[in-house]
């Protein structure tokens, strides 16, 4: 089938536009990386753009030797992994229950979930709940409040309803309980939606700093984003690094290096989930 000139022109324009959009999203990260790998003189003169000048990796030696950053990175990794697992468990179990047509009160609960899309919990009541549960200054305060997401429940419910009912009937015939069907049949068939929502929640957990700012008092429990925020906003980095070593690097170089240090771990997760993420992106496109 011949490709007409107008169609070919459309594809070319389409690729150019999306390439420009992609580059506009990638350019800030390339600039930060270039600054972190550039020498003091070029950075101070604001001569670094998308490629390092006076290449040096000295700032990363300084960052990797800082125990506070590694501890904060470990806290973020723990909160992200545990928070995502808790989120997927509670969200999927609730979604599975709502996907069963014989669940009592199903319609009312779905309407209540939709209300949360419009009205979110205010800060003070949320703080009071966390305080009365005894989770202030604990990592649970960063995990439990986000254990269930209305958006995730709706998406998972839609996906579960798309699974053939014959599979569930076969499970009942073999003597599986509801939890058995959920654990042995539903979860293995739902890898795309679990990967998609899990990645979205993990990115949110990794980038979150406001909850830690409100609930955490102990500096040893600060996630990497709190440390990064304090470094970026402060003009002095002596509290985190040795002053004699700071003098050999531009402040902006150190800040850029810490940004890369805090960003790369979550970026490395995406390639392992990409095949599921692309498939799961279509989840919820069909209504019940």
Query: Crossing angle of helices 270-280/191-207, nearest 10°?
Result: 120
The pLDDT tens digits for 93-138 are 999 888 888 888 888 888 888 888 888 778 888 889 888 988 899 9
pLDDT digits (tens, 9 = 90+) for 249-259: 567 788 888 88
| Confidence (pLDDT) at 35 | 85
| pTM as predicted | 0.80
Q: What is the CATH number of domain 59-280?
A: 1.10.3720.10
Mean pLDDT by 10 residues, the chain (288 residues): 70 90 88 84 78 82 85 92 93 89 84 84 86 90 88 88 80 80 84 86 88 88 86 56 51 83 84 64 49
pLDDT, tens digit (0-9, with 9 covering 90-100), for 65-77: 888 888 999 999 9
> Please, is 70 exposed, middle or buried when counting C-beta atoms within 10 Å of its C-beta (0-12, 13-18, 19+)?
middle
- Name the maximum alpha-carbon separation found in the chain: 74
What pLDDT is recorded for position 81? 92
Domain with CATH 1.10.3720.10 in the chain: 59-280
CA nearest neighbour of 223 among 84, 64, 81, 76: 76
């Amino acid at each position: 089938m011949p490709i007409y000139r107008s169609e070919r022109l459309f594809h070319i324009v389409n690729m150019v536009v999306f390439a420009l959009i992609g580059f506009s999203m990638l350019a800030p990260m390339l600039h930060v990386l270039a600054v972190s790998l550039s020498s003091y003189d070029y950075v101070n003169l604001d001569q670094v753009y998308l490629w390092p000048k006076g290449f040096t990796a000295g700032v990363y030696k300084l960052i990797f030797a800082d125990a506070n950053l590694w501890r904060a990175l470990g806290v973020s990794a723990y909160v992200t992994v545990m928070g995502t697992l808790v989120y997927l468990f509670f969200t999927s179990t609730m979604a599975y229950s709502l996907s069963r047509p014989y669940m009592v009160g199903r319609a009312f609960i779905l309407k209540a979930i939709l209300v949360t899309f419009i009205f979110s919990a205010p800060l003070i009541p949320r703080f009071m709940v966390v305080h009365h549960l005894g989770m202030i200054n604990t990592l649970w305060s960063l995990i439990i409040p986000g254990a269930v997401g209305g958006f995730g429940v709706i998406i998972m419910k839609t996906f579960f309803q798309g699974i053939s009912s014959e599979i569930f009937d076969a499970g009942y015939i073999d003597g599986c309980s509801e939890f058995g069907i959920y654990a042995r049949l539903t979860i293995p068939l739902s890898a795309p939606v679990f990967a998609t929502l899990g990645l979205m929640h993990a990115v949110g957990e990794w980038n979150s700093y406001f909850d830690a700012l409100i609930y955490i008092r102990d500096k040893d429990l600060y996630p990497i984003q709190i440390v990064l925020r304090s470094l970026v906003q402060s003009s002095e980095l002596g509290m985190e690094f040795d002053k004699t070593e700071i003098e050999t690097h531009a402040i902006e170089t150190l800040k850029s290096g810490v940004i890369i240090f805090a960003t790369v771990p979550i970026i490395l997760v995406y390639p392992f989930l990409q095949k599921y993420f692309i498939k799961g992106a279509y989840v919820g496109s069909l209504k019940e």
